[in-house]
Structure 1
């Protein structure tokens, strides 16, 4: 998908993809039995290994990426994610996930996971069953505060995978931890048909300086399909958060359309009205600050799990 007005950086160092999932074809070593099956079955064709994903990105000039735990495939078993990041420390950072159904155990598990090489984020997953399902208990369970506490204490970026209508429930947890960094997955899955109004619950968090927004292929393509110019989405969010709190992610390979080069073109089309410095923030600067600032000391550590 090539678009008039597309602006894509020319050098590999200019782009960080902040939302990629990987699934190993080796189901004996990395079984899929714990997966929640949320989302489409993107992994069944065997083309989602870390080697293949990094190859596709390299061809398009993207050489740094944030690998986000694929809860649909693996649930909260992060072994493949951790092995992949340990094997590719110069190119990747890890966003692990913990099972919030048991918050006390999740907090203990997160503290252990945070010690692993390359782990700089945790995914808190609240979207199982879709937007019409009853929200998970942890959204209002005081025991879940332990996980937020650990995240803030060890300096992890919380990748919040929640629907826009759930965000007000989580505002107190974020507001009470001023140092905590939070990135809203897919901009909270706003209703694309509602355009600006659909993003209102997201903009209402803009006064919390630790909150950042992922402007992903899912968000931009949904807006475009609903008849909204993706540049209007970026302008709307930037007016609330500033460009330095927006960050791009592909959602590859869970999202397959457009192709990976098309996802980059869509991103470039969406940021075409921003200045060069603003584009650099959205495509790389914010990502480095949220997920790569603390990985250098771990880059020589490689571990393998049984």
Structure 2
């Protein structure tokens, strides 16, 4: 990928159906605001926004706040738009054995290229889930590695040291940190220390999202300083931009793209292209589909 106009890929988008009879919301965790309550989060509307802004491909991430671990709408959407979308499903880690079985089944679907492991339910004050340190959860990590999936890790910075052993034990596994693990924007670079501490693990990637960039800007930090800090540790080929649309509504979608380009303005053209699309292409649209049973 040699120029940022080649392909912009949004690595973090949610869809929620207005059809609550077919896709009930009662399985959701209600983490965060009910961003879907205005009915404007359907696949058609969300992907229409992407098209209108010349975003070529979209990584659809299971909206755990809306649906919990019921991935039917996500899977139906990627089946309808197979050329332009990829699915990051989520599995319920409260029962790692069941989660591993569920993931093994879903991994047979070519459009499923990632799995979201959700460690932030209840917010930063809630106790850490036991699966962070429970070895029974390793079955899920193993299935993801065998199937060639990218693990999308939704965790807080304080939890990253607990997760390092699982990542370190699987050097071929790709792990993308959602929202760069929610560092405290008021702490600036110091708040990202736990993230940078994982940069020696070559399979760890970062989602540089609107949530991260807008939070930094609101705290008085130039978003370009955030990107420069993370790129110095990980390199641009391990950074992927994502909007968090439509859960994040401010700025609007064109504003999110503008904020991303503002944040990467100091990088050269090749680096900008990696952050805006190249990294996401490799993580979610170039899956080496292997059998979860054989690992081959």
| TM-score of the two chains, using structure 2 as the length reference | 0.95
SS at structure 2 position matched to 1:248: strand
Q: Give the corresponding residue for 2:217.
A: 224
> 2:12·2:243 contact (CA, 8 Å) conserved in 1?
yes
Match of residue 72 from structure 2: 79
Distance in 1 (alpha carbons) for counterparts of 2:93 and 2:165: 17
The alignment partner of 1:14 has SS state of: coil
- Equivalent pair of 2:149/2:287 in contact (CA under 8 Å): no
**Are positions 1:98 and 2:91 aligned together?**
yes
Structure 2 counterpart of 1:203:
196
Q: Which residue of 1 aligns with 2:41?
A: 48
What residue number does 2:293 align with?
A: none
Q: Quote the offset at 1:117 in angstroms.
A: 3.6
In structure 2, the residue matched to 1:62 is: 55
Query: Structure 1: how far apart are the matches of 2:193 and 2:110?
Result: 37
- In the alignment, the residues of structure 1 paired with residue 28 and residue 105 of structure 2 have an alpha-carbon distance, to the nearest angstrom, of 21
Paired position in structure 2 for 1:303? none
Aligned length: 287
d(CA) in 1 for partners of 2:99, 2:251: 36
Q: Say yes or no: does 1:248 pair with 2:241.
A: yes
Q: What is the distance in 1 between the residues matched to 2:211 and 2:236?
A: 19
2:103 is aligned, of 105, 110, 119, to 110
* TM-superposition CA deviations, 1:16-48 (whole Å, max 9, x none): 000000000001110111000011100011100
1:273-294 residue CA offsets vs partner (Å, 9 max, x unmatched): 0000000110111001000003
In 2, the alpha carbon distance for the partners of 1:63 and 1:55 equals 11
User: Could you list the runs of 5+ residues in structure 2 that have no partner in the other structure?
Assistant: 290-296
Alignment-derived partner of residue 292 in structure 2: none
Q: What residue ranges of structure 1 are gaps of 5+ in the alignment? A: 1-7, 297-306
- In structure 1, C-alpha distance between the alignment counterparts of 2:180 and 2:217, rounded to whole Å: 15
- Contact preservation (8 Å) 1:192, 1:222: yes
Three-state SS of the structure 2 residue aligned to 1:67 is: strand
Corresponding position of 1:23: 16
Instruction: Calculate the aligned-residue CA RMSD, in Å.
Output: 1.2
Q: Determine if the alignment matches structure 1 residue 190 to structure 2 residue 221.
A: no
Q: Does 1:263 align with 2:261?
A: no
> Does residue 286 of structure 1 match 2:283?
no
Q: C-alpha distance in 2, partners of 1:196/1:67?
A: 29
Moved over 3 A (4+): none
Query: Is the 1:212–1:246 contact (alpha carbons within 8 Å) kept by the matching residues of 2?
Result: yes
User: Does the Cα contact within 8 Å between 1:118 and 1:295 map onto a contact in 2?
Assistant: no
